[in-house]
Amino acid sequence: MTRSVLIADDHPLFRQALALAVGQVAPDAQILEAGTLVAASSAVAAHPDLALILLDLKMPGAVGFSGIALLHAERPDVPILVVSSAEGASAAEEARAFGAKGFLHKDADLSEIEAAIAAALSGAAPAPRKQAEPSDLDPIRERVAGLTPTQLKVLLAVLDGQLNKQIAHSLGVSEATVKAHMTAIMRKLDVSNRTQAALVARSLGLHLSH
């Protein structure tokens, strides 16, 4: 049975390094590469045999943890392993909160990266970690997790300051469709306007540059 692994990172040399790591662990896997979030989203949609996503947080089209949220919404059945230069334990916890199966720093040893890839491909549970204290943001994260992939794209465009007309053009839909998505977003996030929706997204770190 064929399977594919997506490497989403805007640095070609690091994609090559990760491809070598995947090749050591799963020589039978087809390796897909993407340098932007848009390309990653397209690859996810085009490959039903996708078995794993290796994702950098900071890449064109992604802000903060939005890449995880979007790709997880599109394919919740596919594990996402974040390989990032983001510092601090909070980055790892936030990544998992948005749907990542694991988090590795880009400075990790090759053997550690290979082991994490092997574990993710085998469906093994992540290593036990200290249980985080419940956060006031948890209910908000659940609401964001309830957004569809298209709704997430609209919300990210709002965060970027785009008007409905611009969002409609970039998504290839009508302004009326964008307005309908905004109405659904505001209902799901329990806010009354797009400014409040953007504030909710910012409170979750979707605007941060990691």
What is the domain partition of the chain in residue ranges? 4-122, 138-203
pLDDT at residue 183, rounded to an integer: 92
What is this structure's pTM?
0.69
- The DSSP bridge partners found for residue 32 are 6
What was the pLDDT predicted at 204? 66
Taking the chain (210 residues) in consecutive chunks of 10 residues, what is each chunk's mean pLDDT?
A: 88 89 92 91 91 89 78 88 77 81 86 90 59 57 79 83 89 91 90 83 59
Query: What fold characterizes domain 138-203?
Result: Arc Repressor Mutant, subunit A (1.10.10)
Could you tell me which residues come within 8 angstroms of residue 109 by beta carbon, excluding any fewer than 6 positions away? none
Output the pLDDT for position 66: 79
**CB 189 within 8 Å of CB 137:** no
pLDDT for position 209? 43
**What is the model's pLDDT at position 196?**
83
Which listed CATH number (1.20.5.510, 3.40.50.2300, 3.30.470.30, 3.20.190.10) goes with 4-122?
3.40.50.2300
Maximal C-alpha separation, the chain:
51
Distance CA(154)–CA(171), nearest Å, equals: 9
- pLDDT value, residue 131: 45
Task: With residue 51 as reference, give the H or E element that holds it.
Answer: strand 50-55
